[in-house]
Amino acid sequence: MNATIHQPHRPLRLAIIGGGPSSWIGGMHRRAAQFDGMWQVVAGVFSSTADRSRDAAAGLGLDPARGYADVAAMLAAERGRDDGIEAVAIMTPNDTHYPYCVAALDAGLDVICDKPVSTTASEARDLAARAKKQDRVLCVTHGYSAYPMTRYAKQLVADGAIGAVRFVQVEYIQSGLAKPIEQGNMTDSQRWKFDADRSGLALVFSAIGCHAQHLACNVSGQKIAAVSADVGALMPGRTVVDTILANLRFDGGARGQYTITQAAAGGENDVRIRIYGERGLIDWSQRNAAYLHLNLEGETARTFGRGDVNLPPEIAKLSRTPRGHPEGLLEAFANIYREAAEAVIARRNDQVVAAVQYPTIADAVHTMDFIEACIASNAANGVWTNLQAIVRSS
């Protein structure tokens, strides 16, 4: 368990990059960051145009002068202030994550970056090296791994509750691309997502697939060693990737299946993970996120609830409202922001965070290795592709 992290007498000063008024994830980041009073948004580059960035800052009640035209201008201006920013949170279109992370880390700032952190594995490795060199936090907002019940699932698996992990079934199914939206007038947000140069190696992977891969590895405690993948589109005639189906082999010996699509009509935001061990199953679904099911062979099936009185304290502290009141992705994001703040504060106090819980840049490197392996496998008609081979060649 982590040592008690002494909170400062003021929130850490955070700048937002991206996340203007039209971006729902922008509101999520801002609210989550400020949920526990550990961060305060004080500045940002909220848009790619100067006027809109300034207006967005004013709309958020910030000094309009701290709504900057671009990242370089913000870093330069904030460096000269006594109350300058201490960290940035990045939620711009995907192709800008890497350069903005580089700029912020090199300026000595801590970084919270939305996924994917880069468009290649080698860029992700470069970010890992920079974060290490600067001794800065670089955390990734994979919210699904920060729900109380996914964290508890991870802990139960690590504690051996289901025995050795044999099979990991992960899925993330949405319907947003179940219509041929690229044949109509697309919004700005849709346009960059359909542009492979901007959204990354595979649209669906950058959008949701990276979350599912991260969740599978995080909860199972295993990395993916090899993959046999079918990467393509359910929508006839579509040229971008809306679906990935893959068989997985994990480094701890487990096998797995990975089902990702944004083109399944009727899907909502269906994230589900089932982990089967030698003794039984652990099962979590975002549709019923407050509960975790444990079915052990020969025993009565059990359901754990987010508000149960006997949860371990490190799991209980991930909830903020009493049982029976819904919590969701916002609170999960807030957990990541709180843990990132604790890591920053710990470093400043010369304390050590014994077990980092938030998704790290090391996780992101594995994520990028995985998608590169999926693409290589698919190009070779689904041949089993070893992630280590990808690591060596990147």
Q: Which residues bind ligand NAD (CB under 6 A)?
A: 17-20, 22-23, 25-26, 45-48, 91-94, 96, 114-115, 141, 143, 188-189
Q: What angle do CA 55, 56, 61 make, to 5 degrees?
A: 95
Query: What count of Cα atoms within 13 Å lies in the side-chain half-sphere of residue 358?
Result: 25
Smaller CB separation from ligand NAD, 96 or 222: 96
The verdict on whether omega for the bond into residue 116 sits within 30 degrees of 0, i.e. cis, is yes
In the complex, the smallest distance separating the C-beta of residue 319 from ligand NAD, rounded to whole angstroms, is 20
Q: Compute the residue count for the chain.
A: 394
In the complex, the smallest distance separating the C-beta of residue 16 from ligand NAD, rounded to whole angstroms, is 9
Angle at which helix 361-379 crosses helix 121-134, to 10 degrees, equals 170
Which amino acid would we find at residue 129? Answer: A
Smaller CB separation from ligand NAD, 209 or 277: 209
Burial class (CB in 10 A: 0-12, 13-18, 19+), 291: middle
In the complex, the smallest distance separating the C-beta of residue 261 from ligand NAD, rounded to whole angstroms, is 16
In the complex, the smallest distance separating the C-beta of residue 19 from ligand NAD, rounded to whole angstroms, is 6
Smaller CB separation from ligand NAD, 67 or 277: 67
What do you get for the CA distance between the two ends of the chain, in Å? 35
Q: Is the distance from CB of 5 to CB of 36 less than 8 angstroms?
A: no
Q: Is the distance from CB of 242 to CB of 202 less than 8 angstroms?
A: no
In the complex, the smallest distance separating the C-beta of residue 393 from ligand NAD, rounded to whole angstroms, is 26
Neighbour tally for 250: CB within 10 Å: 21
Q: Is the distance from CB of 78 to CB of 72 less than 8 angstroms?
A: no
Smaller CB separation from ligand NAD, 18 or 280: 18
Question: Could you write out the DSSP letters of every residue in 166-188?
Answer: EEEEEEEEE-TTSS-GGGS---H
In the complex, the smallest distance separating the C-beta of residue 118 from ligand NAD, rounded to whole angstroms, is 11
Smaller CB separation from ligand NAD, 8 or 21: 21
Cα separation, 153 vs 30, whole angstroms: 28
In the complex, the smallest distance separating the C-beta of residue 232 from ligand NAD, rounded to whole angstroms, is 21
Smaller CB separation from ligand NAD, 171 or 377: 171
Element holding 118 (H helix, E strand) = none
**DSSP assigned state of 161:** T
Smaller CB separation from ligand NAD, 47 or 335: 47
Contacts of 174 (CB under 8 A, 6+ apart): 208, 261, 262, 264, 267, 268, 269, 270
In the complex, the smallest distance separating the C-beta of residue 111 from ligand NAD, rounded to whole angstroms, is 14
Smaller CB separation from ligand NAD, 175 or 351: 175
**DSSP assigned state of 380:** T
SS3 262: coil
Q: Is the distance from CB of 97 to CB of 116 less than 8 angstroms?
A: yes
In the complex, the smallest distance separating the C-beta of residue 23 from ligand NAD, rounded to whole angstroms, is 3
Smaller CB separation from ligand NAD, 186 or 301: 186
Smaller CB separation from ligand NAD, 18 or 277: 18
Torsion of CA 248, 229, 172, 97, to 10 degrees: 100
Residue nearest to ligand NAD (CB): 20
In the complex, the smallest distance separating the C-beta of residue 163 from ligand NAD, rounded to whole angstroms, is 32
Candidates 377, 64, 6, 366; CA nearest to 216 is 366
Cα separation, 285 vs 291, whole angstroms: 8
